[in-house]
Structure 1
Amino acid sequence: MSYRYKVASIFLIGFFIDCINIFMSAVALPSLSATLHVSSASVAWVANAYILGLTLIIPLSTWLAARFGSRNVLTASMLLFSIAVWMCGLANSFAELVIWRFVQGIGGGLLIPVGQALTFNLFQGEQRAKISTLVMAVALIAPAISPTVGGFIVDSSSWRWVFYSNVPFSLIAAGLSWRWIKEAKTGDLSRPDIKGLLLVSTALASLLMGMSLYGGDARTWLAMACIAAGLLFIALYLRHYRQSRHAIIDLSLLSSTRLSTSIFIYYAIPGVFTGVNLLSIFFLQNTLHFSARLTGAFMIVYAIGAFIAMTIGGRVYNRVGAKRLFILGMLLHSAGIVTLTQVNAPSDLWLIVIAYSLMGIGGGIGANTAQTTSLMDFNGSDTHKASVIWNINRQLSFSLGAALFLMIFNLLLKPFDTPSAYHATFAIAALVGLVPLFLMSQLNPAKANHEQQPD
């Protein structure tokens, strides 16, 4: 195996681990909520804490990799991840679980941006479309397998083993990183932007806290104060960015239409789907009384549709172009969400299959196209900087999607009964998923003209 495929393999394992953490833990949330006596809004912090850990460390990944070397950073990150995920399984309180999920996010937050930057610098031109398809294919294997396996674990054992099962994969990633990575440390280092890091992390924590509180049992003024604080810290970071020479997140890279459009698409498709899928899990288990195993099995339907769509999309990307694929992906994905609004009883199993099939096909087209398009304009060190932005966005889209639609659902529970609140939330999600259609006119339909590399 050539060096670049060894690097790609490590990155793909890390990406697989990251997806497992999102989808396998999601199917366990109703059981975890009941065991630890927390509300559906509060239990979302199992995901939010992981996202915050990622957000804290991802912007530092460039400096850490340059200071200590990619091999050392990737190996240490996966060892820390292994320890944290084991402690998540041992947690005896919700507070302990949230704390260790935060540490787990710190461990996992280094492998993906560092591994992605190393991989994408080794694959240029049309080869990036091929490696992006591999990345998204692995990202589909995880959602296909992990919810079903997670559902089986929850039904037959305990939610704790949902976390324990991550350990073998993270240890494999640590061993391969130590054995295969040959990147040297960089001598010229700029001081990391700690102030910018704190502003970004505080802004995200405040926004997530505000959305988690709003519509729940907390006072409205407290939720609004958290959201206002989040917006304030965003404004402070923007001012800091204009005054800093080495800001932690280089916003100038967002002038790339491909990157900025791909970011919006990720909020509209994978981000929206994360929130819809989380609500669907509670709807199917608590309202329709499906087992965790059956609930998780619908992700197999999603993954089959997405895998077929991504395989075709990866082959036609350079002929059809990102714009048409983005539009098709959004329309199919939202059609699937609309189908969920028609599910009223356990006998509507075929409607759920259609819904997850459409969401899978649309999601596969949209996510794969966004992954391929996002870093097309960058090379060298800019690839790593853009990878930081992309991976913060990717993780943030999952967390904000879950928080936003849980908030909307809790608000709709006041005027509607529970099934109607679910249906109304799904309808709103379908509309939100179509918002980037208004941005398609600014996406250059011309194909990227990169030099093609041999395999």
Structure 2
Amino acid sequence: MTSPASPSTADGPAEPPAGQGLDRGVIAVAMVVVLGAIMSILDVTVVNVALKHLSQDFDAPIATIQWVATGYTLALATVIPVTGWASARFGTKRLYMLSIALFVLGSALAGMAWDDKSLIAFRVLQGLGGGMIMPAGMTILTQAAGPQRVGQVMSIVGIPMLLGPIAGPILGGWLVDDVSWRWIFYINVPIGALALVLSARILKKDAPRAAERLDVLGLLLLSPGLACLIYGLATGAEKQDFGRPNVLVTTVLGAVLVIGFAVHALRKGNRNPLIDLRLFRRRSVAAASGTLALFACAFFGAMLVLPLYYQTVRGESAFTSGLLLAPQGFGAMLTMPVGGKLTDRIGAGKVVLVGLALVVLGVAGFATQITADSSYWALGGALFVMGLGMGMTMMPTMSAAMATLQHDEVPRASTALNIIQQVAGSIGTAFIAVLLATELSNRGLGSSASSEAPAPGSIPPNVLAQVMDKMADAFQSTYWWSLVLLAFAFVPALLLPRRKTATPASEDSVPVMMH
């Protein structure tokens, strides 16, 4: 075994001591991964802004156009589980480049779509590539930097994960209003082309490995299970009724298939499960997964509520709403690099607890301050504090799981964490959407959150003021539920390691993936 302090290895620079900054090689690899992450994450939020324009252009109902977003999500859920096996079988560089190529091809075709059906089909193709970009990229980064610097590299790849929900609406609103909806897809082509060129030049060539047998039964259980589960949740939230026969059957079927996969993966004789659930026996992995699930559930739900508040209660455009979300991004940019370094030096547990406390403080601001005429400065301040907390929560949590793993365990763990984040985000969005609809209904407002704010000239001022006050009160009540979810996240977070994680004893030094 090569000591981390060794000056070099035959394959590249040896892993530096803990706490040392990132060298140029690792930073170059990180930039390649960030390019891919930016495409896949921005795409989700950019498209959401354009749904109403797409409905008008294709003369299709919103329920149909919604599949432009839902079809992409279902494709993600279908392909993510196979990423760990594909990384081991074909190599992370090949897989990463293939995923970017598929995403770019899907983007170019989506930009040329001639009707709603063709657009939905091309979005599915996009999702098949997009689902592999993040887990493959995280694997490349973790293996390039080694466990002692995983916090720093995860903070870099986390930037687009946290800024995507902010930059996406701004970019999408501008492109849709001033250019063309087709450019929300075309813009991915030059970014993807640059990512492919840099990947070919910078990432280390994949080393040949013995073929690993694909867990076919696991794939047949998990991929359809996740797709059914997410479809059921998305449809139930859209219809505001989880008791409808088709929604209930799909959701239950998805849950049964996922449970069936868990039983199959944990069988004694199963040596190569699609996702190695035995990794969750490690305290750090289990605690990180629980923290990530509850945090993602609360975060993505909260991110759904605020733009709706700005547009329905305050009457702001999609573009302006995106600008009003910017303080969150500035907060995350300040703390994310610091959070990564602190994670490597003192352990993720201490960093995540402080981050969660800041997020709770920010969300509490919305739960107590949202009214029909709240100060934008006050809401912006709460968003900034929330961003400070997010920069010290999401990626340090993932780092806590990754830092204890051996080289060959990283791809499967990365896949598992991405699945948890995807499913938890879908559950959180559906949960908060239903709660908001219920709160509005309880105040006699029906499904007002899904429509434009009433035109001031069409309703008497005193009646309009009462309606807006009731709507704002519904949004404020919904934020209390996000606070409850965040409070539960403290329980697994308390189990995260609060000391610097030692390099796994059986791990060789991991060479930087660069020529």
TM-score, structure 2 length as denominator? 0.79
Partner in structure 1 of residue 248 of structure 2: 224
- Structure 2 vs 1, CA of residues 264 and 99 (structure 1 numbering), >3 Å: closer, same or farther? farther
State whether residues 371 and 476 of structure 2, in contact with CA within 8 Å, keep that contact through their aligned partners in structure 1: no
Instruction: Give me the whole-angstrom Cα distance separating, in 2, the residues matched to 1:217 and 1:294.
Output: 28
Say whether 1:239 aligns with 2:266.
Answer: no
1:153 maps onto 2:197 in alignment: no
Alignment of 1:405-424 (within 5 A): 405-416=432-443, 417=445, 418=448, 419=471, 420-424=473-477
Match of 1:193 among 205, 211, 215: 215
Q: CA offset at residue 42 of structure 1? A: 7.4
Residues 1:23 and 2:55 aligned together: no
Give the CA deviation at 1:318.
4.3
Q: Which has the larger radius of gyration?
A: 2
Provide the identity percentage.
26
Distance 1:69 1:127, change over 3 A: closer
Q: Go from structure 1 to structure 2 and tell me whether the alpha carbon gap of 1:168 and 1:176 turns closer, same or farther (over 3 Å shift).
A: same
Report the more deviating stretch, 117-126 or 344-353: 344-353
Corresponding residue of 1:118: 140
Partner of 1:433: 486
1:372-451 matches, within 5 Å, as 372-416=399-443, 417=445, 418=448, 419=471, 420-450=473-503
Deviations 1:319-350 (A, max 9, x none): 55322322222232233223334323355312
The one-character-per-residue Cα deviations of 1:266-289 (angstroms, maximum 9, x if unpaired) are 233344222222232223223321
Residues 71, 296 of structure 1: CA spacing in aligned structure 2 closer, same or farther, 3 A cutoff? same
255-264 vs 297-306, which deviates more? 255-264
**Aligned residues of 2:283 and 2:496 also touching (Cα < 8 A):** yes
Give deviations 1:146-168, integer Å, cap 9, x for gaps. Answer: 33222222332343322222221
Q: Deviation digits for residues 299-335 of structure 1, max 9, x if unmatched?
A: 3211111111223323333455322322222232233
Structure 1 residue 253 displacement after superposition: 0.8
1:344 partnered with 2:371: yes
C-alpha displacement at 1:93, in angstroms? 4.8
Q: Is 1:260 aligned to residue 273 of structure 2? A: no
With over 3 angstroms needed to count, the CA separation of the structure-2 counterparts of 1:29 and 1:401, relative to structure 1, is farther
Query: Alpha-carbon deviation of 1:375?
Result: 0.2
Matched letter for residue 217 of structure 2: K
Q: Cα gap change, 1:15/1:256 in structure 2, threshold over 3 Å: closer, same or farther? A: farther
| Residue number in structure 1 paired with 2:384 | 357
In structure 2, the residue matched to 1:106 is 128
Give the 3-state SS of the residue equivalent to 1:279 in structure 2: helix
CA shift at 1:16, angstroms? 1.9
Q: Residues 143 and 407 of structure 2 are in contact (CA less than 8 Å); yes or no, is this contact kept in structure 1?
A: yes
Shift, 1:431, TM fit: 1.2
Task: Output the CA distance in 2 between the equivalents of 1:7 and 1:198.
Answer: 34
Within-5 A mapping of 1:268-279: 268-279=294-305
Which amino acid in 2 is paired with 1:425?
T
Maintained 8 Å contact 2:266/2:277: no
TM-score if structure 1 supplies the norm length?
0.89
Name the counterpart of 2:155: 133
Partner amino acid, structure 2, of 1:230: G
Pick closer, same or farther for the CA change 1:424–1:226 going to 2, 3 Å. Answer: farther
- Partner Cα distance (1:337, 1:26) in 2: 23
The structure-2 alpha-carbon separation of the partners of 1:66 and 1:304, relative to structure 1 and needing over 3 Å to count, comes to: same
Q: What residue number does 1:206 align with?
A: 228
Shift of 1:248: 0.7
Could you tell me which amino acid in structure 1 is paired with residue 381 of structure 2? I
What residue number does 2:342 align with?
316
CA distance in 2, matches of 1:369, 1:401: 21
Partner amino acid, structure 1, of 2:250? C
Of the structure 1 ranges 244-253 and 432-441, higher mean CA displacement relative to structure 2 is found in: 432-441
Matched letter for residue 183 of structure 2: W
CA contact (8 A) 2:106 2:126 kept: yes
Indicate the structure with greater helix content.
1
Q: Deviations for 1:203-237, whole angstroms, at most 9, x for unmatched residues?
A: 22222222233352666333222222122112211
Indicate if the aligned counterparts of 2:287 and 2:496 stay in contact, CA closer than 8 A.
Answer: yes
The gaps in structure 1 that reach 5 residues or longer are none
Cα deviation per residue 1:91-130 (whole Å; 9 max; x = unaligned)? 4555444332222121122333223222211212432222
| Contact 1:124-1:453 at 8 Å conserved across structures | yes
| 1:126 alignment partner, SS class | helix
> Take 1:349 and 1:369, find their aligned partners in 2: how far apart are those partners?
30
Out of 347, 352, 360, the position equivalent to 1:334 is 360
The structural deviation recorded for 1:383 is 1.2
Q: How far is 1:10 from its partner?
A: 1.9
Q: Secondary structure at the match of 2:30?
A: helix
Contact 2:74 / 2:230 at 8 angstroms: preserved in 1?
no
Give the 3 Å change call, closer, same or farther, for CA 157–345 of structure 1 in structure 2: farther
Count of aligned residue pairs for this structure pair: 454
Residue 257 of structure 1 deviates from its aligned partner by 2.2
- One-letter identity of the residue aligned with 1:82: V
Number of the residue aligned with 1:173: 195
- Cα distance between partner residues in 2 of 1:38 and 1:376: 47
Q: What is the identity, as a one-letter code, of the residue corresponding to 1:435? A: F
Contact 2:302-2:432 at 8 Å conserved across structures = yes
User: Which moves more between the two structures, 228-237 or 29-38?
Assistant: 29-38
Taking the aligned partners of 1:338 and 1:393, their CA distance within structure 2 comes to: 25
Letter in 2 for 1:78: I
Partner-residue secondary structure (3-state), 1:381:
helix
Partner Cα distance (2:511, 2:213) in 1:
38
**Higher mean C-alpha displacement, 94-103 vs 159-168:** 94-103
For 1:168 and 1:394, locate their aligned partners in 2 and report how far apart those are by CA, in whole Å. 28
8 Å CA contact retained: 1:51, 1:396 = no
